[in-house]
Amino acid sequence: MASYDLITRQLYPLSITLFGLLCFSSSAMAQQNEAIASDDAIQSAIEQELAYLDRDSKNYKTPLAGEGFRTEFLGEEIIVDPRDRTSVNAWMLGLQYNTPGPDDRDIFPIGSLYFWRQPEQSKLFYANIAGAYNDLFYGEQLPDWGDFQYALAFRNFTPPSAMSEVVDGRSVLDEEMYWGRLQWDIGLGYRTQVDPGYNDNIFMANLYFEPGFLYFSKGSEAADNLLAPRDTVELGSRLEVKYDGLKRNILWLAHEGFAAGGNLVYGHRVNWRDWGLDGNQYRASDSRDHLRFDAYALGATGVPFINSDRHRLLGSIHGGTGANLDRFSAQRIGGGVNPMGWDFASTAMPVLPGASVWEYYPEHYLIGNAEYRWEPIFFSYLSLHGTAGWLNPVRNIGGEFKREETFYSAVGGRLATGFLGESMLVVDVTHNFNVLRDDERGGSDITFFVVKEF
């Protein structure tokens, strides 16, 4: 019965995800059929009217997402049709390799589906579907509501296998558990388009009521004297603010502009108890009620004294703090590729390059990223980036697990380029000087993935 119950809990988020996708599939298919019917009729007109991209011009302008153009490459004429950015489907597949890595996390596969629908200003749907983690949003402005909307969202964190937290690069097997979170959001808010006027240039503020559910079960490697937390309903609220004024290039990388936002979250666990190892338990009163605030800002601009679209400077800062946070409520921070404004939904995600996925859950953090990007050809971008982070992860201090203020720094390079089958390939190599691996400081990660619309 315990195994059946656990499997049911892990499959339930998938059923919710499929339900969300079905909510927009019929209207999306109708729009797609209408677009296909008109494509042939307008194709020749498009080719005649597209602007020519002169790669050798002193006034060269980087092509932006959704723009159509004509150009030449290796003696061949290339035609890029305009892209309707009100409807986007894409998949992403890749992996992260850490060397040296924390225990059992040398290789971490990554993959997701991405959907965006804004057929008209009054309706917005987007979703990141990754199985273990899903994030869906739908907002609609009813007649006579103006820019005000009702908003529905669903998020889950439901790893399919037991998780043991990593402390100083080593897995804490004594506290290994299956655990997960299901979170529903019902709210009211405000949403409007902002400059420079592209489909994803949006200001949005929503206030949600957040009912949720947390579940737990001991893993096979857990100590016999581990008492797992009790399954519980969680009630809370969340204030979300997002502003996106970014122009994005043909690979959806931030090219120019500014984005910012934040979340203020309160949660109350209805059925909570002390949990942990005998003699070293976590008190229920320390985490039954928790409060968390996260904020971010990122921007992209040209390089001073260089009048060229091919050279860009980018920067981002992510920070957060809270009270009574534990491994089940704190912001998860790990390695990978900093999004730098790749899409409206991902700008809020903090990344600490060189760490493994989901490695830290600090009470507070501040992470700054800076990047220089060069465009050698209109479909390829080379970057150098650096990171400085300050957070208080759980550390092993004299054999006792305590939070400690820790500084992290990292440098790396990245290639983002058009790839086979009209896809995008991203390869990122980063070295973090301060992560702990095999009792020594320093570790690198290599992340690569392919993204393709479908």
pLDDT above 70: percentage of residues in the chain:
89
Structure tokens of 362? Answer: 């600090």
CA–CA distance, 196 with 248 (Å, rounded to integer): 11
- Residue 55 pLDDT level (bands cut at 50, 70, 90): confident
Residue 30 in this model has a pLDDT that exceeds 60: no
Burial of 251 (0-12, 13-18, 19+ CB in 10 A): buried
- Write out pLDDT tens, residues 121-140: 999 999 999 988 999 999 99
Residue 300 in this model has a pLDDT that exceeds 90: yes
Give the Cβ contact number of residue 374 at 10 Å. Answer: 14
- Residue 11 pLDDT level (bands cut at 50, 70, 90): very low
Residue 32 in this model has a pLDDT that exceeds 80: no
- Residue 340 pLDDT level (bands cut at 50, 70, 90): low
Give this prediction's pTM.
Answer: 0.87
Question: Which pLDDT score, from 0 to 100, does residue 24 have?
Answer: 43
In terms of pLDDT, which residue wins out, 19 or 142? 142
- Write out pLDDT tens, residues 422-444: 899 999 999 999 999 988 999 99
Q: What is the mean pLDDT of the chain?
A: 89
Residue 90 in this model has a pLDDT that exceeds 90: yes
CA–CA distance, 26 with 281 (Å, rounded to integer): 51
Structure tokens of 53? Answer: 């991209």
Residue 321 in this model has a pLDDT that exceeds 70: yes
- Write out pLDDT tens, residues 98-126: 999 998 888 989 999 999 999 999 999 99
Question: Which pLDDT score, from 0 to 100, does residue 25 have?
Answer: 42
How many whole angstroms from its chain centre is CA 390?
20
Cβ-contact 296, 319 below 8 angstroms:
yes
Q: Give kind and range of the element (H or E) at residue 401.
A: strand 400-403
DSSP 44-72: HHHHHHSPB--TT-TT--PPBTT--EEEE
Residue 33 in this model has a pLDDT that exceeds 70: no
Give mean pLDDT, residues 56-68. 91
Nearest to 96 by CA among 352, 356, 332, 351: 356
Least confident of 154-163, 191-200, 334-343, 384-393: 334-343
CA–CA distance, 294 with 286 (Å, rounded to integer): 20
Question: Which pLDDT score, from 0 to 100, does residue 394 have?
Answer: 95
Residue 356 in this model has a pLDDT that exceeds 70: yes
The 3-class SS string of 256-321 reads EEEEEEEEEEEEEECCCCCEEECCEEECHHHCCEEEEEEEEEEEEEECCCCCCCCEEEEEEEEEEE
- Residue 56 pLDDT level (bands cut at 50, 70, 90): confident
Burial of 268 (0-12, 13-18, 19+ CB in 10 A): middle
Residue with tokens 């440098």: 411
pLDDT above 90: percentage of residues in the chain:
76
Residue 357 in this model has a pLDDT that exceeds 80: yes
Question: Which pLDDT score, from 0 to 100, does residue 14 have?
Answer: 42
Report the DSSP beta bridge partners of residue 424: 418, 451
Residue 35 in this model has a pLDDT that exceeds 90: no
Report the DSSP beta bridge partners of residue 441: 436
- Residue 43 pLDDT level (bands cut at 50, 70, 90): low
- Residue 278 pLDDT level (bands cut at 50, 70, 90): confident
Burial of 227 (0-12, 13-18, 19+ CB in 10 A): middle
Give mean pLDDT, residues 295-308. 95
Question: Which pLDDT score, from 0 to 100, does residue 46 have?
Answer: 52
Question: Which pLDDT score, from 0 to 100, does residue 73 have?
Answer: 86
DSSP 242: E
Nearest to 129 by CA among 118, 121, 137: 137
Residue 156 in this model has a pLDDT that exceeds 80: yes
Residue 10 in this model has a pLDDT that exceeds 80: no
Structure tokens of 313? Answer: 């400077």
CA–CA distance, 400 with 376 (Å, rounded to integer): 51
Residue 393 in this model has a pLDDT that exceeds 90: yes
Sequence-distant (6+) residues with CB within 8 A of 167 are 393, 394, 395, 396, 401
- Write out pLDDT tens, residues 211-240: 999 999 999 999 999 999 999 999 999 999
Question: Which pLDDT score, from 0 to 100, does residue 29 have?
Answer: 38
Residue 400 in this model has a pLDDT that exceeds 60: yes
Residue 21 in this model has a pLDDT that exceeds 80: no
